[in-house]
């Protein structure tokens, strides 16, 4: 997921540029890479179980 997009699935993500792991919560916005401050792409490592309201 690119910087600036909304987080759809809460979970642990890693930045493509620096392999910096960060947790994003649902409805947050993907930030720039915290390490190099560049626009980046976040790859999901571990998606939390989404508690979907039935
Ligand atoms: Zn980076």
pLDDT tens digits for 14-43? Answer: 999 999 999 999 999 999 999 999 999 999
Neighbouring-strand partners of residue 11: 24, 47
Neighbouring-strand partners of residue 15: 42
Burial of 31 (0-12, 13-18, 19+ CB in 10 A): middle
41 CA distance to ligand 1 middle (Å) = 9
Q: Which residues contact 52 (CB under 8 A, 6 or more apart)?
A: none
State both tokens at 29. 């916005």
pTM over 0.85: no
Using CA atoms, how far residue 36 sits from 2, 8, 20, in Å, is 15, 24, 10
49 CA distance to ligand 1 middle (Å) = 27
pLDDT at 28: 97
32 CA distance to ligand 1 middle (Å) = 8
């Amino acid at each position: 997921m690119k910087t600036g997009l909304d987080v759809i699935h809460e979970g642990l993500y890693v930045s493509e540029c620096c392999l910096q792991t960060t947790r994003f919560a649902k409805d947050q916005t993907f930030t720039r890479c915290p390490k190099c401050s560049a626009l980046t792409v976040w790859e999901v490592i571990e998606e939390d179980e989404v508690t979907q309201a039935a």
